[in-house]
Amino acid sequence: MHNFYELDVPCRLLRDDVDISTYPEFKDYHWAVWNDRSDRYMTAEAIEFIKTMGIQDQVWFNNGMQPNHVTVFRGNKDTFMDIHCDRGSSWCINYIWGSSRSEMLWWQPNDDVELTAEMCSVGSEYMKYDADQCTLIEKTACQGPMLVRIDTPHNVINHDADNYRWCLSIRDLSSKWTWEEAVEHFKPWFKSDAY
C-alpha cells in the first residue's frame, strides 16, 4: 500500500481568482496553516464533485464541525516542514499550487526515537521527529489532487526559492476512517490502476 494516490477529478479544482492578499500573516512560523471557507478556493463544480465522493469537505473549527471548510497551508520559500503526524484524521485530499517544485515525504521512525513538542501556527502542539532518527519510505512531487496519508510521520519540502507552496487540504474528520478504509473508499477515483 502506498502513502499517496492521485485522484481523477473531472473538473478544475482551484478557482482562478483566489485572492492571496487577504490571507492571514503568520510571521513567526515558516509553515502557516488555517481553516477557511471552501468556496473561497474551490470552484462550485469541484465542491459538488467532492460531495459525490461521499465527503462534505469539513474540518474542526472553533471546537465544532464546520461543513464546507478546507484547511489551507502556505509553505515558505525554499523551506522544509518538520516531520510530524496529524491528529484527527488518517487521510486528506491535497491540491498544491504556486511552487514550481515541492515534495511530500513519508518516514519510518527508528525504534528508539524521541519526540520533541513544537507549536504550529494555529497554536496547537504537535510532536516533531528528527530526520536523522527516521528512514525515508516514500516521496512524491505530485501536485494533486491526491489522497495522502497523514497519521504516520510525514513532511513537505518546498524547493522553490521564489514562490510559496500553497496547499488546499480537504478533510472530513467525521469519517473516522483508517488509512486502509480511506484507500478502499476512494479507490473508484484513483487515477491509475498501476497502484
Rule CB under 5 A: which residues touch Fe ion?
86, 150
- C-beta of 39 vs 137, nearer to Fe ion: 137
Cβ proximity to Fe ion: between 94 and 188 the closer is 94
Closer residue to Fe ion in complex, CB, 39/89: 89
If you write DSSP's letter for every residue of 83-103 in order, what string do you get? BB--SS-SEEEEEEES-SSEE
Torsion of CA 36, 98, 54, 122, to 10 degrees: -40
Task: CB nearer to Fe ion: give 43 or 175.
Answer: 175
Report, in Å, the least distance between residue 194 CB and Fe ion.
Answer: 26
Q: How buried is 175 (Cβ within 10 angstroms: 0-12 exposed, 13-18 middle, 19+ buried)?
A: middle
| Nearest distance, CB of residue 10 and Fe ion, angstroms | 27
CB of 59 to Fe ion, least distance (A): 13
Q: State in angstroms the smallest separation of the CB of 80 from Fe ion.
A: 13
How far from each other are the two terminal CA atoms of the chain, in whole angstroms? Answer: 8
CA distances from 183 to 46, 136, 180 (A): 20, 21, 5
